[in-house]
Structure 1
Amino acid sequence: GDGAVGLLGVLAARQLGAERVIAMSRHADRQALARRFGATDIVTERGAEGVARIKELTGGLGAHSTIEAVGTQESMEQAIRATRAGGHIGFVGVSHDVALGGAEVFFSSVHLHGGPAPVRRFLPELVELIVERRIDPGAVFDLTLSIEDAAEGYRAMDERRATKVLLTTE
């Protein structure tokens, strides 16, 4: 996905040494941010077409590692089908009643990993990277509103007019 979590997944993948990072996005502004964060390829297709495009980009094999940051049935199925046998899927999107067929997961030979991230474990290194200006994760905040306008912020994100909203108390 090309929301804040997916975009920061692109940034994290590059920081961890990934040479190739494929971002899935259909929004020009988010594609630009994905490129800024280190995406080497952008896939605009979804479903079977998206899987085919990823396989094409990876020599027919599929991705080594996939971040599933959306949490829908379609996105999880797409992640499983776009990941090579033996590959890993980190599902970080909060699942919205996703039901996976046992046979498909079993025969895909992928590894599924999910759950809340141990944020505190990573904070010291992340803060250092930010302070040294080696990364700018704050770039996902593309709309600033007063806290009184929080509902508008949620609407803006829902309508894809904002990636992430920064609420201020001033």
Structure 2
Amino acid sequence: MSNNPAISRVALKKTTPDVSAAMGSLHAAAVSAAQDAKLQPEILELIRIRASQLNGCAFCLDMHTKDARAAGETEQRLYALNAWRETPFFTERERAALALAEAVTLVHDGHVPDAVYAEAAEVFSEEQVAALIWAATVINAYNRIAIATRMVPGGYQPVKK
């Protein structure tokens, strides 16, 4: 596998602006659904980062770790996220969200097991489970876009709130 930076990749926003706008609208709708369901933004960032780790998306890892830090996430939890099951740093709800996000991300590997779904449904409302599934779906789509077009990490800066 070659990762030749000299090979130019398509600029999706420029080449297919309507599809890119639709993706942005999907992302906005998923964020809105999470807000309406009163899902903590910290959980959303954790699942975005975890899915990006699993997919190997450097651009999204750069973006979402910066966003998480800007929102007050600790370095310890970010460093341990790749091994979240082995640490005491994550709450029961965060663990259920991470397990669900991993199952959605790795859907090819046994689909979303009933036990994983049941664990999430036990600690989240139906609206929150739906929002978690949408958030995982959206970040997985963005990971694939960033990887396929070789978006370069490093330049993203969080919006100051």
TM-score, scaled to structure 1: 0.31
- Structure with greater strand share of residues: 1
- Structure with greater helix share of residues: 2
Larger radius of gyration: 1
Q: Which has the higher contact order (CA 8 A, sep 6+)?
A: 2
